[in-house]
Amino acid sequence: MELLLLAINAMLIGNLILSKFLGICPFLGVSRRLSTALGMSMAVLFVMVLASTVTWTLFYTLLKPLHLEYLRTILFILVIASLVQLVEMVMQKLSPALYEALGIYLPLITTNCAILGVAIDSIEKGYGFLPMIVYSFFGACGFALALLLFAGIRERLETADMPKSFQGAASSLIVAGILSLAFMGFSGLVPG
Amino acid sequence: MSILIPILVLTGVGVVAGVALAYFSRVFYVPEDPRVDRLEEILPGANCGACGFAGCRDYAKGLVAKNGDVPPCPVGGKAVAEKIAEILGVAVADVEDQVALVRCAGTRDRATTRGTMVGVRDCAGAALLGSPKSCRFGCIGFGDCVGVCPTKAITVYGGGLAVVDPDLCIGCGLCVSKCPVDCIGMVPRDRRVHVLCNSRDPALVTRAACKVGCIACNLCTKKDPAFVVASNVATFTGVTCDPEVRFACPNDVIVHTDHTSVLAFVESEAARADYEAEKAVFKEKEKAARAAARPAREPKNAGEQP
Amino acid sequence: MTTQANPFPGGIHPAYRKDLTSGCESRPMPVPKILVIPLSQHLGAPAKVLVKKGDAVKAGQLIAEPAGFISAAVHASSSGKVTAIGPVELPSGQKGEAVTIETDGAHEWARMEPISDPLAADPKVLVERVKAAGIVGLGGATFPSHVKLTPPADSPVDWVLLNGAECEPYLTADHRVMVERPDRIAQGVKLVRHIMGVSKVSVGIEGNKPDAIEAMRKALGDAGEVVELPVKYPQGSEKQLIHALTGRRVPPKKLPSSVGVTVFNVATVAAIADAVIDGTPLVERVVTVTGSGVNQPGNFRVPVGARVLDLMEFAGGYREDAAQLILGGPMMGRAAATDDVPVVKGVGGVLVLSADELKNLDYGVCVRCGRCLRACPNTQNPMLLGQLIEKGLFSRIDEEKLRELVLDDCFECGSCTFVCPSRRPLVQFFQMAKGYYRSQQKRKG
Amino acid sequence: MEPRSFTVSYAPHVHDGSSTRRIMWSVFGALVPAAAVAVYAFGLDALRVMLLSTILCVAMEGVALLIMRRDPAACLDGSAALTGFLLGLTLPAGLSNGIIVVGAFVAVIVAKQVFGGLGHNPFNPALTSRVFLLIAFPKQLTTWPVPRGLEDIKEYMGLAVTRTTDAVTSATPLAAIKEHAQRAMPNIQLNDLFFGVHTPGSIGEISALALLLGAAFLLYRRIITWHVPVATLATVAVLGGLTHLANPAKYADPVFHLFAGGLFIGAFFMATDYVTAPVWPLGKIIYGVGIGLLTMVIRLWGGYPEGISFAILLMNAATPLLDRYTVPTPFGSRKPDKAAPGQAGGES
């Protein structure tokens, strides 16, 4: 029951993009096409869960006994960077079309604050191994949910004759704003 | 000494990561041609798609894949073509610097319309119903070409006719494929003389449809062989010609851009007025020249009379 | 036994206004002074002209032979002299080659000789006769009938359907043919059954023509069954009619023969009978002249090639507030710019609308009300397609795999445009998309 | 006879006579009964809020169209007026004018004109503005004036009525249930909710009867289809029923949940807005179920007493995905059930 509440919290109330405003640049960058948004969500899901696991184990086996907790951020970035490099190679080999479509945004995951945010958050909140896995998995699902909804809306806006000044990023940010407004309805859904 | 431990930990994890990545990069190696990036730098980057590829990067890939055997980049022209040849080490077909020309002078008052067209907003739609003009080859004037021109070189003037400004035109040819009645053609940038008609209908139909239509009377070809008549319409193939030739045309369809720009010739009344004046002067001179030649033949006719 | 017709999704109920002319007997129109006979009155390649300027021709004489497999012969509708061969304004709004004949009023016939005992004749001879008579589908598609009578070997036909639905508002041409010449249609049915070796024949007639249903049942007897169809536009379209009578669904991009069915218009079958039994080629057809811009609406047997202005003069002329001339019905017919256009084999009606009946034409933005989706008989997506084509986003159309649906399934029945509250010209958008893809094919092919 | 020249236009040449403008004004008319009850219950204050928000929305759209050099007359096509009227109906009666100006601006400019005007806005303009106001001005948006005839009551549904110098305000039925379920539960008067004349709440939501009257008109004129409202109400009823069975003391019964709060105005008038709702029947049903689900989740366990506004906005975001994945198979696409030729029968 505890894990269920944690999952709902990670996915809806504490949604990475729309409530915590993490990972905004891929959110705006990759959501032009639904297919690339899907690809990006899968890549982020894979990297996030893997990164959280690796960083969590490293923290508790290496940094904590040696009292080097302050090295946390640097080490996490190093791990995430190499993981993303790995994902990039795998994707270029397995599905070049998707690799081409994602383009610049794939290496961008390294500096994606959502992944680093989840990794550090798991440590900050002192989650055990299983809660950390649930938290990162459903956090990534929340990220995917927001990204897919947003990509659907942006694809629909392609047929809208918006005034010149609002085309592109401006209208997307407004849509994102209204989306997060709607997500605020979930606030107070789960105590604590 | 306690500073040593963090350094060791960090370098340790760094080394482990490095080795892992090196190993994986061998496992997942995918070849990518470096020439694609170099080609992309020298391309104009207009992404206009005139070469038939989806943007310049795609064109660069096409160049490498087909080793240069692709249509030339019209926007880049000669300069870009040479650089491509240099990178690919292959001879690229020479690219003529071209510009678009609307081959029609039938403004609303000169061309006859058929029925009153209602609820139509673009040329493609109008062409579906059969053009609003009796001449089915003439410019419809709703401006589909204006919308598609990347450098806004085409504007539709009051008389309902599209005119291309040669200085702004980069020769990408997007308007040529957009026009539903194909009355826009590509002509060399330095050509001075144009025949402003595209009607391939026989003379009878063209005369009924438009006051300034080319009825393939061949008078201009007699004056200057650079004019060629094919399927009922004349086209000029040279660079320039004697300005007198344009007065030979009974329907004033030929324009000489040294004297009046295409726009002025089609639109402004002033330019039309002094064109008529020049033509009248030329006609006088020609009549006088013909009269002078006639006396030489007079006695012969007189002789024959019984 | 009368089987129940299967319903099809969508469809609309426009004001049918058939009462204006459904009772009028079809009166023959005297041969006008000038006949303008286009070489392309059918689906497929235009016919190859055989006569020269100045030749004398008789009524029924072959003046152009079919060029290529899908093409049709063209005949002179009356005797006279050929005065010109050149581009002429066609009902479709485009210009096309046509033979202009100045009639001499003698109407001297040059018929083919009738085939004796046709039901015992060799089917190939009968198909050759249909081809020589230049018979095409008179329902409006003008597909050459001799090609339909010989389906490809790999998709044999076991069921022949007759289209008497005539679901287009205002028009009553087929209705009159069914009421006035049911036995000639019955002979045609027997001929078609003999040619194609098929036993099952069903005739679909909409419920708003009870006298036609009665006449056809009496004339056909056991040669075929007459099914009463619910009155809904576009009941008469090929795929909807096949599903209504046989329950079979023709998949996209496929011909009806792929599901073992062939559809003929009732007037086409009558023309086949005329060609075989009397030897007269297709030189005349029934046309409905109707609409509030006409003094006396009525049905007329019009020679092919007669100009609309001559037909209107004979039919009583226009009212002064006549504003729009439509060849065919109000839903799929084409608006003509002038009445100096010839009546061709595919024109079933001349509809003249008055000024106040004109559709107000400035269209607004799509508000996604979904009415066009409910109205579309093919349950397609006219809304999204309309938006994408209007903005020229053809790459998006391919991405969402809508291209085949636009090109192959949409037969431009107009139901979506009829119900759109923003009056968006959706049919025109689809025609533009088809034009765009065709020009793309040309450039690539 | 001289050849005559005619008008040329696209097929088809006839039309069923419907127009977007008439549809918008019909929906506007369908809301008038609810507005009448509101004016009766809350007096001229309600009229002020509704009129002000309608006129402001139309004016702002006109100005926006002028600035964008588009035809300003389009602001009279009824969509801006409808948005303003709907916004007015979802606000409390005593709201100050300043907040209404902000609300109108957000509804017409931010939620609609920015995306290109009618037909392109992804979110329902009236609701976006109401949620914006609810979050921006929480206090003003939750002070519910007491309707006529209840001025002198002490307690409403077990909750004390606050009495200030200028206004008498009390909790809405939903708010009462959320805070003090045990005390409020016994004094639910269902016919109060149904007729709504004596129930505090936002202007348009109080009288279920008036809203049902308008909805019946829209359904009869086939301006809206049944799919969305029925799916929403059914989901709310089912969830209400289940939770009530599970714990009758804590959760109110389904009938209460149906008639209380903004469910009727949301389900019949807001969720069925053409532009922001899905177009395919299956999509509409999923959309309706989603709205019902989210409304109940927020009402029962969320932080706000009324969840319908958030629910509709969230499902608006899902509409493009629903449109893409709930397309029915086109008529001809099923495999051809072709009888083998030569078989005499062939199924009918």
| CATH (domain of B38) | 1.10.15
Q: H-helix or E-strand containing B222?
A: helix B219-223
Is residue C57 scored above 50 in pLDDT? yes
Q: Does C434 touch chain B (CB under 8 A)?
A: no
Least reliable range by pLDDT among A56-70, D49-63, D153-167: D153-167
Per the model's pLDDT, the better-predicted residue between A64 and C301 turns out to be: C301
Whether B75 and B103 map to the same domain: the answer is no
Q: H-helix or E-strand containing D155?
A: strand D155-156
Residues 280-339 (D) with a CB less than 8 A from some CB of C? 280, 323-324, 327-339
Whether B81 and B106 map to the same domain: the answer is no
Main-chain phi, psi angles of D186, to 5 degrees: -65, -30
Determine the distance in angstroms separating the CA of A185 from the nearest CA of chain D, rounded to an integer. Answer: 6
**DSSP collapsed to 3 states, chain C:** CCCCCCCCCCCECCCCCHHHCCCCCEEECCCCCEEEEECCCCCCCCCEECCCCCCEECECCEEEECCCCCCCCEECCCCEEEEEEEEEECCCCCEEEEEEEEECCCCCECCCCCCCCHHHCCHHHHHHHHHHCCCECCCCCCCEHHHHHCCCCCCCCCEEEEEECCCCCCCCHHHHHHHHCHHHHHHHHHHHHHHHCCCEEEEEEECCCHHHHHHHHHHHCCCCEEEEECCCECCCCHHHHHHHHHCCCCCCCCCHHHHCEEEEEHHHHHHHHHHHHHCCCCCEEEEEEECCCECCCEEEEEECCEEHHHHHHHCCCECCCEEEEEECCCCCCEEECECCCECCCCCCEEEEEEHHHCCCCCCCCCCCCCHHHHHCCCCCCHHHHHHHHHCCCHHHHHHCCCHHHHHHHCCCCCHHHHHCCCCCCHHHHHHHHHHHHHHHHHHHC
DSSP β-ladder status, C298-303 and C284-290? antiparallel
Nearest one of D146, D87, D46 to D269, comparing CA atoms: D87
| Measured distance CA(D236)–CA(D230) in Å, rounded | 10
Which domain range does residue B274 map to? 98-287
**DSSP collapsed to 3 states, A49-60:** HHHHHHHHHHHH
Contact call for residues C46 and C40 (beta carbons, < 8 A): yes
Nearest to D10 among B114, B116, B119 (CB): B119
Nearest to D128 among A155, A160, A178 (CB): A178
B104: tokens are: 């029609």
- What is the reported pLDDT for C219? 92
- What is the reported pLDDT for D344? 34
Longest dimension (CA), chain B: 138
Beginning with the edge strand found earlier in the chain, give each strand of the sheet holding C62-65 in spatial order: C48-49, C62-65, C74-75
**R_g of chain C computed on alpha carbons:** 21
Q: Do D10 and B125 touch (CB under 8 A)?
A: yes
Nearest one of D24, D7, D74, D62 to C361, comparing CA atoms: D7
Q: Do B125 and C432 touch (CB under 8 A)?
A: yes
Q: Does A124 touch chain C (CB under 8 A)?
A: no
Which chain D residues are closer than 8 Å to B117 by Cβ? 7-9
Whether B72 and B146 map to the same domain: the answer is no
Q: Does A159 touch chain C (CB under 8 A)?
A: yes
Interface contacts (A, D; CB < 8 Å): 96
Per the model's pLDDT, the better-predicted residue between B301 and B293 turns out to be: B293
Whether B234 and B263 map to the same domain: the answer is yes
| Measured distance CA(C99)–CA(C175) in Å, rounded | 31
| Measured distance CA(C58)–CA(C48) in Å, rounded | 18
Determine the distance in angstroms separating the CA of B1 from the nearest CA of chain A, rounded to an integer. Answer: 14
| Measured distance CA(D77)–CA(D25) in Å, rounded | 8
Encoded amino acid at B28, one letter = F
Q: Does B2 touch chain A (CB under 8 A)?
A: no
Longest dimension (CA), chain A: 60
Chain D residue with minimum CA distance to C7: D331
Please tell me the number of Cα atoms within 13 Å of C141 on its side-chain side. 17
- Helix B56-65 to helix B77-88 angle, to the nearest 10 degrees? 40
* Mean predicted confidence (pLDDT) in C187-205: 91
B231 three-class SS: coil
Chain A residue with minimum CA distance to C392: A159
Q: How many structural domains are present in chain B?
A: 2
Whether B127 and B66 map to the same domain: the answer is no
Per the model's pLDDT, the better-predicted residue between C293 and B68 turns out to be: C293
Supply angle C-alpha D268, D273, D275, rounded to 5: 165
Determine the distance in angstroms separating the CA of B20 from the nearest CA of chain A, rounded to an integer. Answer: 9
Determine the distance in angstroms separating the CA of C437 from the nearest CA of chain B, rounded to an integer. Answer: 12
pLDDT digits (tens, 9 = 90+) for D212-268: 999 999 999 999 999 999 999 999 999 999 988 888 888 888 888 888 888 999 999
Encoded amino acid at B257, one letter = T
Q: Do C324 and D1 touch (CB under 8 A)?
A: no
Q: Do A158 and C390 touch (CB under 8 A)?
A: no
Main-chain phi, psi angles of C77, to 5 degrees: -85, -15
* Mean predicted confidence (pLDDT) in D114-123: 91
Q: Tell me whether residue B19 is in a domain.
A: no
Q: Do C379 and D338 touch (CB under 8 A)?
A: no
Q: Does D3 touch chain C (CB under 8 A)?
A: yes
Supply angle C-alpha A11, A17, A21, rounded to 5: 130
User: For chain D, what is the mean pLDDT?
Assistant: 85
Contact call for residues A153 and D114 (beta carbons, < 8 A): no
| Measured distance CA(B118)–CA(B140) in Å, rounded | 14
Share of chain C above pLDDT 90, in %: 44
Residues of chain A with pLDDT under 70: 103-105, 190-192
Whether B147 and B84 map to the same domain: the answer is no
- What is the reported pLDDT for B91? 62
**CATH of the domain spanning C18-22+114-278:** 3.40.50.11540
Please tell me the number of Cα atoms within 13 Å of C156 on its side-chain side. 11
User: For chain C, what is the mean pLDDT?
Assistant: 89
Determine the distance in angstroms separating the CA of D8 from the nearest CA of chain B, rounded to an integer. Answer: 5
Q: Facing residues of D155 across strands? A: D160
pLDDT digits (tens, 9 = 90+) for B184-217: 988 888 888 888 888 888 888 888 888 888 888 8
pLDDT band at D340 (very low <50, low <70, confident <90, very high): very low
Whether B113 and B162 map to the same domain: the answer is yes
pLDDT band at D343 (very low <50, low <70, confident <90, very high): very low
Longest dimension (CA), chain C: 63
Q: Do A190 and D321 touch (CB under 8 A)?
A: no
| Measured distance CA(C12)–CA(D319) in Å, rounded | 27
DSSP β-ladder status, C74-75 and C62-65? antiparallel
Query: What chains are in contact with B, requiring at least 3 Cβ pairs below 8 Å?
Result: A, C, D
Which residues lie below 8 Å from residue A91, measured CB to CB, with a gap of 6+?
A: A43, A98, A99, A102, A106
- Name the DSSP letter for residue D276: G
Q: E strands along chain B, which residues?
A: 98-102, 116-117, 154-157, 161-164, 184-188, 193-195, 227-230, 233-236, 254-256
| Measured distance CA(D117)–CA(D120) in Å, rounded | 6
| Measured distance CA(C36)–CA(C38) in Å, rounded | 6
Q: Do B115 and D9 touch (CB under 8 A)?
A: no
pLDDT band at B304 (very low <50, low <70, confident <90, very high): very low
Contact call for residues A175 and A154 (beta carbons, < 8 A): yes
Interface contacts (C, D; CB < 8 Å): 196
Task: For the beta carbon of residue C444, count every other beta carbon within 10 angstroms.
Answer: 7
Residues 4-63 (D) with a CB less than 8 A from some CB of B? 5-10
C65: tokens are: 């032979």
What are the boundaries of each domain within chain C?
A: 18-22+114-278, 371-443
Chain C residue with minimum CA distance to A35: C399
Tokens 């004001």, residue located: C15
| Measured distance CA(D212)–CA(D201) in Å, rounded | 17
Instruction: Bin C231: left if φ > 0, else alpha if -120 < ψ < 50, else beta.
Output: beta
Q: Does C100 touch chain A (CB under 8 A)?
A: no
Residue B222: exposure state from Cβ atoms within 10 A (0-12, 13-18, ≥19):
exposed
Determine the distance in angstroms separating the CA of B42 from the nearest CA of chain C, rounded to an integer. Answer: 27
Chain B residue with minimum CA distance to D6: B115
Q: Do B118 and C358 touch (CB under 8 A)?
A: yes
- What is the reported pLDDT for D347? 34
Which chain A residues are closer than 8 Å to D311 by Cβ? 185
Determine the distance in angstroms separating the CA of D16 from the nearest CA of chain C, rounded to an integer. Answer: 6
Q: Does D279 touch chain A (CB under 8 A)?
A: no
Q: Do D338 and C323 touch (CB under 8 A)?
A: no
Nearest one of D130, D125, D120 to D88, comparing CA atoms: D130
Could you tell me the pTM of the whole model?
A: 0.85
Chain D residue with minimum CA distance to C331: D12
| Measured distance CA(C107)–CA(A173) in Å, rounded | 77
pLDDT band at C82 (very low <50, low <70, confident <90, very high): very high
Chain B residue with minimum CA distance to A81: B17
| Measured distance CA(C94)–CA(C41) in Å, rounded | 13
- What is the reported pLDDT for D313? 94
Q: Facing residues of B255 across strands? A: B194
Contact call for residues D51 and D21 (beta carbons, < 8 A): no
Is residue B119 scored above 50 in pLDDT? yes
Q: Does B118 touch chain A (CB under 8 A)?
A: no
Nearest one of C246, C273, C240, C251 to C261, comparing CA atoms: C246
pLDDT digits (tens, 9 = 90+) for C7-37: 888 889 998 888 888 888 989 999 999 999 9
Determine the distance in angstroms separating the CA of A79 from the nearest CA of chain D, rounded to an integer. Answer: 35
Is residue D50 scored above 90 in pLDDT? yes
A126 three-class SS: coil
Which chain B residues are closer than 8 Å to C94 by Cβ? 130, 136
Choose, out of D6, D9, D14, D15, the residue to mutate when testing the contact with B (most B CBs < 10 Å).
Answer: D9
Q: Facing residues of D156 across strands? A: D159
ipTM above 0.85, yes or no: no
| Measured distance CA(C165)–CA(B210) in Å, rounded | 45
Which residues lie below 8 Å from residue B190, measured CB to CB, with a gap of 6+?
A: B97, B239
Determine the distance in angstroms separating the CA of A73 from the nearest CA of chain C, rounded to an integer. Answer: 42
Per the model's pLDDT, the better-predicted residue between B211 and D106 turns out to be: D106
pLDDT digits (tens, 9 = 90+) for B239-270: 877 777 777 788 888 888 777 777 777 777 77
Q: H-helix or E-strand containing D144?
A: strand D144-145
Q: Do A160 and D304 touch (CB under 8 A)?
A: no
Tokens 């026989």, residue located: B202
- What is the reported pLDDT for D348? 32
Q: Do A92 and B28 touch (CB under 8 A)?
A: yes
Q: Facing residues of C159 across strands? A: C200, C261
Choose, out of B112, B113, B118, the residue to mutate when testing the contact with D (most D CBs < 10 Å).
Answer: B118
pLDDT band at D146 (very low <50, low <70, confident <90, very high): confident
- What is the reported pLDDT for C178? 92
Determine the distance in angstroms separating the CA of A146 from the nearest CA of chain C, rounded to an integer. Answer: 22
Q: Do A178 and D307 touch (CB under 8 A)?
A: no
